[in-house]
Amino acid sequence: MNQPLPSYSKGDTSQPLIEMTIGDKFDEIAAKFPDNEALVARHQDIRWTYAEFKQQVDTCARALLAIGIQKGDRVGVWSPNCAEWTTMQFATAKIGAILVNINPSYRLHELEYALNHSQARMLVIAESFKSSDYTAMLYELAPELKNSQDRLTHSDKLPHLELVVNLAEKTYPGMWRWQDLQQQAAAVNPQTLASAQATLQCSDPINIQYTSGTTGSPKGATLSHRNILNNGFFVAESISLTEKDRLVIPVPLYHCFGMVMANLGCVTHGATMIYPGEGFDPRAVLETVSAERATALYGVPTMFIAELDHPDFGDYDLRSLRTGIMAGSICPEEVMKAVNSRMHMREVQIAYGMTETSPVSTQTSADDAFDKRVTTVGRTQPHLESKVIGPISDDPLPRGEIGELCTRGYSVMLGYWDNEAATRDAIDGNGWMHTGDLATMDSEGYIQIVGRIKDMVIRGGENIYPKEIEEFLYTHPAISDVQVTGIPDKKYGEELVAWVRLRPRHESVTAEDLRAFCRGKITHFKVPRYFKFVDEFPMTVTGKIQKFRMREISMAELGIEA
């Protein structure tokens, strides 16, 4: 009798890794495609070719050198999507400064932690975004700014911060304007920049991204040129991106989806980066795709759902679309069908990963069977390894068995910034990153994510994976979106609660209707005990569902104690 294959796979290695720094690769592409549009920021009325974008980046890099920012210094950016964000991304990479991505939704405590933990010397901020007045918030943290002339010489709460650049047109006390920074470039000649760039290694740290933990302080995943340059390249290779493609990017730049999969994916291929706005707005995305004749679109499933459900969807011509990526969570089957047909994205792919792996570890391909694109996260990316292990041994489980997914290769982060203990917990002695995700691997190497280890619900001794129930409930014609989690129960240990968003004109559907739909189709203990009808879910700014908040809210409303 044949033994089942182990749950282990290795990606293709026929195409070599890019052993260059981000700055050097950027210069190579800008020289190759100088007249191609590099960046379009529609909300700012900015449209730059690669030659023009390189001029902007080099000016900014020289300005950073002029004010004393050096290799290894940390520079924070706290802003929604804009051209200045991307200019800083490439300018810091050119001089070896470490870009610290700060979540646009951070409040005072989180901002203070990120700046102090990274010991950022410089911070670039937007004036405001949505309900956040960044300028006022920073003055609250560092009131000393109001009495500073040029540099922040001392701050009680932010002792490492020296310089703040505000993207506003007006001048704020103690803060520079963007144009004030750029004017410093005159003091540094291009050869000095080239000399600084030549000292960098592709293994150098270049980016810190703070993961949004549900417990404890956020951890700063530290990524190198090699990590993110190659990941952006291979993600874009999978969707066959070329210099003729135009990618609409509604996902936030502060996250790997934006700055790596989108920005670096485009730049490594000479393609065009297109920002429809500061943050996600479904109408702006549809309008941008139509007006810019975009060939590709990125987003999380909830973004695609919002676009498809927009009342003016039919007013926009999306026939130029060919491909794109959905990531963040599995795409429901009906959504995938609609994206393929109504949005013309027949080559759209699913990508899976985490910040700590730069981020993508697995990806579907354009010619995968439909069921593989809606039930799996594809196969192992080039130059990477995947395995599924059990709770006792690090050896791969037989294929088809559920265990923890681990990944290894060039994409695994250098470590958590200034946190060796957390790094050791995440990356074992053999270089495997333990994802915390429960998964299976089939006979062809396709990987299916069945949930987070911490999200698994144990009801009366039965292991229940919320994703399985979500996928079933998605088949109900009235349900637009659904998320399932567990809450404490005295009798069974845990019970299921389903948060449901209904489609328009289906608002009369009740919890009992949904229970009746489940009966006889899924095992009785998998039928949610509670249903909560909502218009939206608690989410991170990147569109990931915060199930811990769902649990907290559900428990509070039901009067259940932990």
Q: What is the pLDDT of residue 84?
A: 98
Q: Where are the chain's structural domains? A: 49-219, 456-558
Q: What is the pLDDT of residue 85?
A: 98
Question: How large a percentage of the chain has pLDDT more than 90?
Answer: 83
Q: What is the pLDDT of residue 53?
A: 99
| pLDDT of 361 above 80 | yes
Provide the 3-class DSSP secondary structure of residue 389: strand
Check if the beta carbon of residue 91 is closer than 8 Å to that of residue 190.
Answer: no
214 pLDDT tier (thresholds 50, 70, 90) = very low
| pLDDT of 215 above 50 | no
Check if the beta carbon of residue 244 is closer than 8 Å to that of residue 293.
Answer: no
Q: What is the pLDDT of residue 542?
A: 60
Over residues 490-508, the pLDDT tens digits come to 878 889 999 999 999 999 9
Give the residue from 408, 412, 404 showing the smallest Cα distance to 441: 404
Name which residue leads in pLDDT, 391 or 79: 79
Could you write out the DSSP letters of every residue in 498-521?
EEEEEPTT-TT--HHHHHHHHTTT
The side-by-side arrangement of strands in the sheet containing 46-49 is 46-49, 37-41, 272-275, 246-248, 296-299, 323-326, 349-353, 360-363, 379-380
| pLDDT of 121 above 50 | yes
Q: What is the pLDDT of residue 426?
A: 95
Q: What is the mean pLDDT of residues 544-550?
A: 86
Find the DSSP H helices in 108-252: 108-118, 134-141, 178-183, 190-198, 225-238
Check if the beta carbon of residue 283 is closer than 8 Å to that of residue 257.
Answer: no
Question: How large a percentage of the chain has pLDDT more than 70?
Answer: 98
Q: Per DSSP, what are the bridge partners of residue 99? A: 75, 207
| pLDDT of 355 above 80 | yes
Cα–Cα distance for residue pair 508/422, rounded to 1 Å: 48
Q: What is the pLDDT of residue 212?
A: 62
Cα–Cα distance for residue pair 346/65, rounded to 1 Å: 46
Q: What is the pLDDT of residue 453?
A: 81
| Element holding 267 (H helix, E strand) | helix 265-267
| pLDDT of 293 above 90 | yes
Cα–Cα distance for residue pair 228/363, rounded to 1 Å: 16
Q: What is the pLDDT of residue 285?
A: 98
For residues 223-232, one letter each, b for 16 or more C-beta atoms within 10 angstroms of the residue's C-beta and e for the rest, the string is: bbbbbbbbbb
pTM: 0.87
Q: Which fold has domain 456-558?
A: GMP Synthetase; Chain A, domain 3 (3.30.300)
Cα–Cα distance for residue pair 88/175, rounded to 1 Å: 17
Cα–Cα distance for residue pair 517/511, rounded to 1 Å: 10
Q: Per DSSP, what are the bridge partners of residue 464? A: 457
Provide the 3-class DSSP secondary structure of residue 215: coil
Amino acid sitting at position 457: V
In the structure encoding, which two tokens stand for residue 106, read together? 């951070």
Q: What is the mean pLDDT of residues 140-150?
A: 93
In the structure encoding, which two tokens stand for residue 42, read together? 């529609």
| Element holding 55 (H helix, E strand) | helix 50-66
154 C-beta neighbours (distance < 10 Å), count: 11
Q: Which one of 3.30.70.3150, 3.40.50.12780, 1.10.260.40, 3.40.630.40 gives the CATH number of domain 49-219?
A: 3.40.50.12780
Q: What is the mean pLDDT of residues 508-536?
A: 93
Q: What is the mean pLDDT of residues 443-471?
A: 85
Q: What is the mean pLDDT of residues 1-16?
A: 92
| Element holding 165 (H helix, E strand) | strand 163-166
Q: What is the pLDDT of residue 10?
A: 98
Cα–Cα distance for residue pair 233/257, rounded to 1 Å: 13
| pLDDT of 329 above 80 | no
| pLDDT of 213 above 70 | no
543 pLDDT tier (thresholds 50, 70, 90) = low
Q: What is the pLDDT of residue 2?
A: 73
Q: Per DSSP, what are the bridge partners of residue 326? A: 299, 350
For residues 294-314, one letter each, b for 16 or more C-beta atoms within 10 angstroms of the residue's C-beta and e for the rest, the string is: bbbbbbbbbbbbbbbebeebe
468 pLDDT tier (thresholds 50, 70, 90) = confident
| pLDDT of 224 above 80 | yes
Q: What is the mean pLDDT of residues 301-321?
A: 95
433 pLDDT tier (thresholds 50, 70, 90) = very high
Cα–Cα distance for residue pair 92/1, rounded to 1 Å: 58
CA 242 to chain centre: 22
